[in-house]
Amino acid sequence: MDRNKGQKKYFIRTYGCQMNEHDSEKISWILTNMDYSETESMEEADLIIYNTCLVRENAEIKVYGNLGALKKLKREKPDLIIAICGCMMQREEIRNVITSKYKHVDIIFGTHNIHKLPQLINNHLKTGKTIVDVLEDSREIVEDLDANRKYFFKAFVNIMFGCNNFCSYCIVPYTRGREVSREPENILSEIKELAKSGCKEVTLLGQNVNSYGKTLSREYDFVDLLRAINEIDGIERIRFMTSHPKDLSDKLIEAYKSLDKLCEHLHLPVQSGSNRILKEMNRKYTREDYLLIIKKLKEAVPNIAITTDIIVGFPGETEEDFNDTLELVKEVEYDSAFTFLYSIREGTRAARMKNQVDDKIKHARFQKLSQVLNEISLRKNEKLLGETFEVLVEEVSKNNPEVLTGRTRSNKLVHFKGDKNLIGTMVNVKIEEAKTFFLEGTIV
């Protein structure tokens, strides 16, 4: 749907993960149906929406800062509607802060009731009051929501919602509720529609995709779903986010060998290399379990790229625990990794742990870990020099209008010269330069 046709204008800012990004695409679709069009300028907007994240403190602080700055705008333009949604709004104590200290906010809604937005806007317009509408948890999946997707050639597709894992540091189970899987028929028909409209790549979204199917009324698991998607004409690449090591099956490892569209990349968050810390984190696997999965994967798919998430400075982490993480990183040889300083999240079990790590030590470990990871990334990228890869062309580089960027099946970012008409197509690129975070090459 054309998001630039509506009379009124909305501005949306998204914080956090792909789940939120995709929720914002759904909100955008809803608003387009309400005769709104998107604007990149807050000053121009009739409606401003912040889709928030609570996973770490810095995400939260950013929202409060940006929200404060909207006060002036609202004063100058009293008809402006300000709405906040997303993970922060699932927490009552945060809603209370917003309603008491940020009185210029007009609408508060949550992660389970995006579909009610038109009703909430109308209620606000009718009453002039602040509307707060949040569902604490919901097993109901609203299927009739479409999305205004950012790219026509690649798409996020939800396969499940929520999380049951309760890793002791993590707030997500308290914001996204209990795990629930979408019916395969609904997922497959969405992907078929996407393929018809030119989509080549799908990224299946869930907090723990390996446990897909557990809430369905029949036997059907993640690999069954992958097999069915692999049959859909037009789809050329299948990706997924995120996997939990405790549920990663041999069946999935085998699937990499038999499913030609499944991309040679796995994002497998390890969080820590220390068994003691993994236990405290409630991750339910050991370092040895994790390394065994990696060994099997590399045997099955020798060119697979492996990426991860790591938390530094979890409560009680000693120098020895941290060294275990460094050693694991060197053994796995990650292609890249997201590293995070442990952040206290009120309401989680780890927040109540007494032995919080000193900030200075956390930062020093973070620096050391980043350095080791970067050296490995560069070394792995240098091994690709001279090779040619299929690249899905994504966009024009922000720094150079003559340069295009795209991704290999292994999810490596590649820069190369080319015409912007190539966006959305597959090209072959020969790698000529290797950097830590991307590759450079020429179309051949």
For residue 173, the partner it binds in ligand SF4, ligand F3S, ligand SAH, none, with Cβ less than 5 to 8 A by kind, is: ligand SF4
- Which structure tokens are listed for 317? 């982490």
Smallest separation, CB 119 to ligand SAH (Å): 30
As a whole number of Å, the end-to-end CA separation of the chain is: 35
- What residues contact 3, with CB distance under 8 A and at least 6 apart? 28, 32, 37, 38, 148
Q: Does 325 bind ligand SAH (CB under 6 A)?
A: no
User: Smallest distance from the beta carbon of 396 to ligand SAH, in angstroms?
Assistant: 29
State how far the Cα of 90 lies from the Cα of 136, in Å rounded to an integer.
Answer: 6
> What CA–CA distance (Å, rounded) separates 121 from 125?
6
- Beta carbons of 415 and 404 less than 8 angstroms apart: yes
Q: Residue from 27, 55, 262, 294 that binds ligand SAH (CB under 6 A)? A: 55
Q: Kindly state the smallest distance separating residue 211's Cβ from ligand SF4, in Å.
A: 9
Residue 114, token pair as written in the block: 């995006």
Each residue 168-197 as x (binds ligand SAH by CB under 6 A) or -, in order, gives -xx-x-------------------------
Instruction: Answer yes or no whether residue 56 interacts with ligand SF4 by CB under 6 A.
Output: no
Site size for ligand F3S, by CB under 6 A? 12
Q: What would the two tokens of residue 16 be? A: 């956090």
Report the residue closest to ligand F3S, judged by CB: 16
* Contact predicate 394/423, CB 8 Å: yes
Calculated CA dihedral for residues 386, 390, 393, 398, nearest 10 degrees: -30
- Interface residues for ligand F3S in 13-32 (CB under 6 A)? 16-17, 19-20
Find the shortest distance in angstroms from Cβ 18 to ligand F3S. 8
Residue 352: DSSP 8-state: G
Q: Give the C-alpha separation, 333 to 329, whole Å.
A: 6
Q: Which is nearer to ligand SAH, 152 or 166 (CB)?
A: 166
| Backbone φ, ψ for residue 426 (5° rounding) | -95, 135
- The mark string for 234-273 relative to ligand SAH (x by CB under 6 A, - otherwise) is --------x-x------------------------x-x--
Binding mask 176-205 for ligand F3S (x = CB under 6 A): x-----------------------------
Instruction: Tell me the two tokens of residue 208.
Output: 């723990």
Query: Is 53 a binder of ligand F3S (CB under 6 A)?
Result: yes
Report what 53 binds from ligand SAH, ligand SF4, ligand F3S, none; CB cut-off 5-8 Å by kind: ligand F3S
Contacts of 7 (CB under 8 A, 6+ apart): 35, 36, 37
Q: Does 80 bind ligand F3S (CB under 6 A)?
A: no
Nearer to ligand F3S, 60 or 321 (CB): 60
DSSP helix/strand/coil, 94: helix
Q: CA-to-CA distance for 85 and 135, rounded, in angstroms?
A: 12
List binders of ligand SF4 among 225-264 (CB under 6 A).
244
Q: Does 242 bind ligand F3S (CB under 6 A)?
A: no
Q: Which of 81, 170, 262, 311 binds ligand SF4 (CB under 6 A)?
A: 170
156 is a contact residue toward ligand SAH (CB under 6 A): no
Choose from ligand F3S, ligand SAH, ligand SF4, none: what does 343 bind? Cβ within 5-8 Å by kind: ligand SAH
Tell me the β-bridge partners of 47: 10, 81
**Is residue 309 within a helix (H) or strand (E), and if so which, with residue range?**
strand 305-312
Q: How far is CA 379 from CA 375, 407, 441, in A?
A: 6, 19, 17
CB neighbourhood size of 257 (10 A)? 10
User: What are the backbone angles phi and psi of residue 221, rounded to the nearest 5°?
Assistant: -120, -175
- Contacts with ligand SF4, residue ranges (CB under 6 A): 163, 165-167, 170, 172-173, 207-208, 244
Footprint of ligand F3S on this chain (CB under 6 A)?
16-17, 19-20, 53-55, 87, 171-172, 175-176
Contacts with ligand SAH, residue ranges (CB under 6 A)? 55-56, 169-170, 172, 207-208, 242, 244, 269, 271, 309, 311, 340, 342-343, 345
